[in-house]
Structure 1
Amino acid sequence: MKHVFVVDDEQNIRDILQKYIENEGYKVTLFSDGRQVYEEMLRLKPDLLVIDIMMPHLDGLELCKKIRAVSDVPIIFVSARDGEFDRILGLELGGDDYLTKPFSPRELMVRMKNIFKRLEKSTAVTTLQTLSIRDVTIDLERRYIERDGQEIRFTTKEYELLVFLTKNKGKPYTRDELLEFIWGYEYAGDGRLVDDLVKRIRKKLDQHQSLVELSTIWGYGYRINE
């Protein structure tokens, strides 16, 4: 049974989400603020977290930073702030999705299921166990990326994009095509989400002095060079 953490300081939202998530057959643990979440995450190892950004004591963005230092567990942000900057910042810090309040609980369920389906698909048994591109090796079974024996930590979306482009190395993809692949649905045509994801991947590869080249095709999109 999948285990979902819901972290929100509004009790009515916690209650509504608990009802919907449990009706889908998932286990739910509720938190009214972010202070206890980190320790409980290490102990209970949830499969996904739904985190409100605007919370007292420890806000959702700071909580996400702590979690991302040790785990790539999927995170969906919910927030009353609907500005593009807030959405991009949430995703840049490692969030997998972002919903603006008020939102439909059914839409949240669809996005949660979509994340779980993609994770299951990527970890399904396959004859292809590893991918290699230049000096980087990707272990598909363990979802582990390394260069010269050192792990490069990626968030779920960073990992999915790198694997997708590596499997299709040399082929360019538009931002809309990559949005459809990474999020699995129309994301308001916001190409900046892809740009930001690519920027983060490049930064991590550069930090490990990797030779992998993720190229920009001006006016079109991106590709990984063979």
Structure 2
Amino acid sequence: MNKTQRVEPVKHIFVVDDEKSIRDILKKYIENEGDKVTLFDNGSSVLAEITRMKPDLLVLDIMMPGVGGMELCKQIRKTSDVPIIFVSAKGEELDRVLGLELGADDYLTKPFSPRELVVRIKNIFKRLDKGYSASALVKLQDIELHPDRRLVQKEGQEIKLTSREFALFEFLAAHRNLPFTRDQLLQKVWGYDYTGDERLIDDLVKRIRKKLAEHDSAVQITTVWGYGYRLDA
């Protein structure tokens, strides 16, 4: 798309990877969409630059010398909920689950198509923009959900959710007491063209349940055996 034709605000994306060839090709594809890219070949200087430059999204390689992607994500999540996409040659389920538990929004295994990464980035921004455009307060028993602020509270205390956790919780809350299959939830949370592992939904539900339980919330995400999940409230 020609930059002069773009109507959405330009997004600033950090690409952090120790392989120059990958950095360069991702920069090319992302900039072709009209967005700004800052490249890093290691994780050491990223934390300071996040504070200074305030990126809209990070693409992080996991296997890097020095500060790796997992540790970098852990440090970022202490102060920021900026969307993070992991890219890694490690495709084992344990690595994927760990990445999501640390607060990543998506996970791509190398080798991957740069076009697929661009689609994943677009889907994240589309979901975030949609969330910010909503404003109606949602009340669920002892929980208040503020879509415009991307905030979940119980009795004034914030329940900290990652952007993916929030997206799933917000969708289930908006359709409370209705069951959805894992595939339906994947499409709603990741985007219509996402063809990922349905176990990602199980991981997200497990993490949301844990956070609700830590705050003694009465809100429940119920397993509909042989089908999927629903939020009871």
What TM-score results when the alignment is normalised by the length of structure 1? 0.95
Q: Counterparts in 2 of 1:1-226, with a 5 A limit?
A: 1-124=10-133, 126=134, 128-184=135-191, 185-188=193-196, 190-226=197-233
Q: Distance in 1 between matches of 2:137 and 2:194?
A: 30
Secondary structure of the corresponding residue to residue 153 of structure 2: strand
Secondary structure of the corresponding residue to residue 144 of structure 2: strand
Secondary structure of the corresponding residue to residue 41 of structure 1: helix
What TM-score results when the alignment is normalised by the length of structure 2? 0.92
Alpha-carbon deviation of 1:5? 0.3
Alpha-carbon deviation of 1:2? 0.5
Secondary structure of the corresponding residue to residue 58 of structure 1: coil
> Which region of structure 1 is more displaced relative to structure 2, 82-91 or 130-139?
82-91
Q: Distance in 2 between matches of 1:48 and 1:208?
A: 29
Identify unmatched segments of 5+ residues in structure 2: 1-9
Alpha-carbon deviation of 1:33? 0.8
Secondary structure of the corresponding residue to residue 203 of structure 1: helix
Alpha-carbon deviation of 1:48? 0.5
Q: Distance in 2 between matches of 1:87 and 1:8?
A: 18
Q: Distance in 2 between matches of 1:23 and 1:180?
A: 26
Q: Distance in 2 between matches of 1:200 and 1:187?
A: 21
Query: What do you get for the CA RMSD once the two structures are aligned?
Result: 1.2
Give the aligned residue type for 2:94.
F
Alpha-carbon deviation of 1:82? 1.6
Give the aligned residue type for 1:100.
T
List, as ranges, runs of 4+ consecutive aligned residues in structure 1 with deviation greater than 2 Å.
Answer: 185-188
Give the aligned residue type for 2:209.
R
Aligned match of 2:6? none
Q: Distance in 1 between matches of 2:152 and 2:17?
A: 33
Q: Percent identity over the alignment? A: 60
Alpha-carbon deviation of 1:34? 0.8
Alpha-carbon deviation of 1:73? 1.1
- 1:73-125: CA deviation from partner (whole Å, max 9, x where unpaired): 1111100112222222212221111111111111111111111111111111x
Aligned length: 223
Q: Distance in 2 between matches of 1:43 and 1:136?
A: 34
Give the aligned residue type for 2:71.
E
